[in-house]
Amino acid sequence: MNLPAKLREMASWHTMSPLLVFLAMLLTVSVLNSAYLGPLGISIVTASAAPILLVALGQAMVLNIGSIDLSNAAISLLGSILLALALPSLGIGSLLAILLLLTLIGAINGAIVAYTQVPSFALTLGTLGILQTAALVASGAETIYVSENRELVTMFYTYKLANAPLTFWIGVAVAVLYWFVLRFTVLGQNMTAVGKNETGAIFSAVPNRLVKIVTFAISGFTGGLAGLSIVAQAGSASTSGLGSNLLLPGIAAALVGGTSISGGLTNPINVVFGALTVAFVPIAIQAIGAGAEAQSLVYGIFIILVVALTTARTRDAVIK
């Protein structure tokens, strides 16, 4: 791609729209309640955005190969509960073990999709139910409070950089890492090739099964990091508390961040703006004085409009 083509790509509406939508949301919130742009407001929004961002990044990677992972939010929830249970006895080793376990769960999802050709929507919907049940059983339907070794994870929330907790910056670092992988590695190019045209990718000797396993493993790993951000912020974990409703916001943030639901197109850095936009939605709704009963309605309308604006379209593209 020559330089003028690269400049046109960078200036395209699809590339710029996640940032522009975020700036529009920022302007709206500043007009309605400028207090949210102060240090405390920034801390609140970025803390809320951190688990959404991490779930969305895993979702974006899976959407990029033309699949979907409805279980990655449940992976996050299970990870947070297992971390809260294991941290007092195993310390920092529990985090490494749980990240490995959740990565393995993601890889199993990918292997089943790759070798059985079960649609990812159906498979991960089933996995969602299994993991939610596992989380409920593991926690005994109670809130698990971290007592010993709590500081090993809460430091990721209490330490602030530019008024944003470290959990948010972990998400930003992961976004940059995934962007690099997609842009500059053979694995990333294979992922995008499978998402754009899997049949063509197979004829081009792309190891599509391995790509699917690795991509779902990435989703599981990133979901584990989201679980860490949940425990770091709350100091506890439960099936009905913080992190129990990340599925819709995670998918929404990936789509608002410009990820194509048809596959073959994502920019993890733009997903950061998608997560921040989604995190601002409840604040904007509250600022305009809408009641709690109207929030889901406003949220749904907002997501439909923004995704309609940020979805890339070409003459030959098929929007599914």
Of 20-34, 78-92, 165-179, 189-203, least confident by mean pLDDT is: 20-34
Percent of the chain with pLDDT over 70: 85
* pLDDT for residue 85: 94
**Ramachandran sector of residue 140 (left: φ over 0; alpha: ψ -120 to 50; beta: rest):** left
Cα angle value 120/186/184 (rounded, 5°): 110
Owning domain of residue 119: 51-309
* pLDDT for residue 215: 97
Measure CA of the first residue to CA of the last residue in the chain; give whole Å: 28
Taking all residues of the chain, what is their mean pLDDT, rounded to a whole number?
86
127-149 burial, b for 16+ CB within 10 Å, e for fewer?
bbeebbebbbebbeeeebebeeb
279 within a domain of the structure (yes/no):
yes
* pLDDT for residue 319: 44
* pLDDT for residue 245: 85
Neighbours of 7 (CB within 10 A): 10
187 within a domain of the structure (yes/no):
yes
320 within a domain of the structure (yes/no):
no
Q: Are 240 and 142 in contact (CB under 8 A)?
A: no
Number of H helices, E strands in the chain: 14, 4
Q: How many structural domains is the chain composed of?
A: 1
8 within a domain of the structure (yes/no):
no
Q: Whole-angstrom Cα distance, residue 123 to residue 142?
A: 28
83 within a domain of the structure (yes/no):
yes
Q: Where residue 92 sits, what CATH number does that domain have?
A: 1.10.3470
Containing H/E element for 34?
none
pLDDT at residue 138 is higher than 50: yes
Mean pLDDT (whole number) for 79-92: 92
pTM: 0.89
20 within a domain of the structure (yes/no):
no
Q: Whole-angstrom Cα distance, residue 88 to residue 152?
A: 10
* pLDDT for residue 312: 54
* Structure tokens, 135: 């989380």
Confidence tier at 21 by pLDDT (50, 70, 90): confident
261 within a domain of the structure (yes/no):
yes
- Locate the DSSP E strands across 11-69: none
318 within a domain of the structure (yes/no):
no
Containing H/E element for 161?
strand 160-161
